[in-house]
Amino acid sequence: MSLLVVGSVALDSVETPFGKVDDALGGSAVYISTAASFFTAPIRLVGVVGGDFSKEHIEFLEERDVDLEGLQVVEEGKTFRWGGRYHYDLNARDTLFTHLNAFEQFKPIIPVSYKKTAYVCLGNIDPVLQRQVLEQIQKPRFVIGDTMNYWIQTKPNELRDTMKVMDAIVVNESEARLLTNEPNLIKAAKKIIALGPKVVIVKKGEHGAVLVTEDTIFSAPAYPLENIYDPTGAGDAFAGGFAGWLSKTDDLSNENLKRAVIYGSSLASFCVEKFSVDGLRDLTKLKIQDRYRSFMELSRFDEGR
C-alpha cells in the first residue's frame, strides 16, 4: 500500500570524529521516504525546498520511487539547512546553525491524488502542521507521528491535541520523559498511550528500542556495529523502516508491529554506517533481510535444562 510522508527536506553539514560533509541531502522526510521505499511504493512525499535544491537529489528520490508531486519548490528561496558537530560520544552533538529558509513558511498542501493514502508518517514538524495534514486526509488507516523536545516545550497543548489522532508515536528517551514527567520509560509509554496513540516506540539509541501497546511490551536490541560514522537521520530511518513494513504488509497485529520495529532498527543501523543517506543509497533488500535475521539471532538462545 502507498505511504504518505510529511516532513523536512534539508541540506545538512555534519562533522563527526570520523569525517565531515557539507550540504548533504537530509531532512526527516528524506530519511523516512528512503528507508520506507525498500518495502512499499509509491512513497508520497510532502515538503518544501528552495531553488538551490539540486537535480541530483531530485533524481535520487525519484529512483527510490518517491512521488514528488507534493514537493513544493520555492524558486526564489533557499532549502532548509542544518549544521551539527558530534563528539566521540555520538549521542551528544552541538547544533552549529539552523537556517529554516523556505521551510519557515511551509504549509503542507496534500495533492488530491494523495488524500486517500492509508498509511501516514509525520516527521517532527510543528504539531499544528501535523494536524493540518491529517485534516486533509480521508480516513487514514494508520498514522505514525514523531516529535521533538522543542515542540513538547513550546507547544504542549497543540501536541497533545495532535496526539489524539495519531495511532503510533515514535519518541526518544528524553522526549518520553519530558512529555510525561515520568522517569521510568515503561510508565512513560503507558502515560503516552493514555493521551491517544495506541502504539508507543521509545528509541534508546545504542541500547535499541522499546515497543509498548496496551497489552504488549517488546524490547528490541541495537545492532552491534563496529563502524558508526554519522547518527544523523537514524531515528527517521527507523520510522521509515517501521512505516514501510506496516504499509507493505497491511498487518497491525502485535506480532507484526514487533517485526516492523526490527525492520526499522535494521534500516537505522545501515543509515549510521555512512554520512547522509549514503548508508541507504546502495542498500539491497537482500542485505536488509540478512540484517533482520541477524537481529533475530542477537536475542535467541537455547533454553537449556
Mean pLDDT computed over every residue of the chain: 95
On the question of pLDDT at 301 being above 80, the answer is: no
Q: Is the pLDDT of residue 209 over 90?
A: yes
Q: What is the mean pLDDT of residues 67-77?
A: 97
* CATH H-level superfamily of 3-298: Ribokinase (3.40.1190.20)
Most confident range, picked from 75-79, 223-227, 300-304: 75-79
Give the Å distances, CA to CA, from 297 to 221, 245, 290, 300. 11, 20, 11, 5
Give the residues across from 26 on adjacent strands. Answer: 10
What pLDDT shows up at residue 243?
A: 98
Give the cell for residue 205. 539509541
Model-wide pTM > 0.85: yes
What does the pLDDT look like over 88-121, one tens digit per residue? 888 778 999 999 999 999 999 999 999 999 999 9
Provide the CA 281 distance to its chain's centre, in angstroms: 17
Reported as type and span, the H/E element at residue 5 is: strand 3-6
Q: What residue spans define the domains of the chain?
A: 3-298
DSSP letters for 217-243: EEEEPPP--S-----TTHHHHHHHHHH
Q: How far apart are CA 72 and CA 92, in angstroms?
A: 33
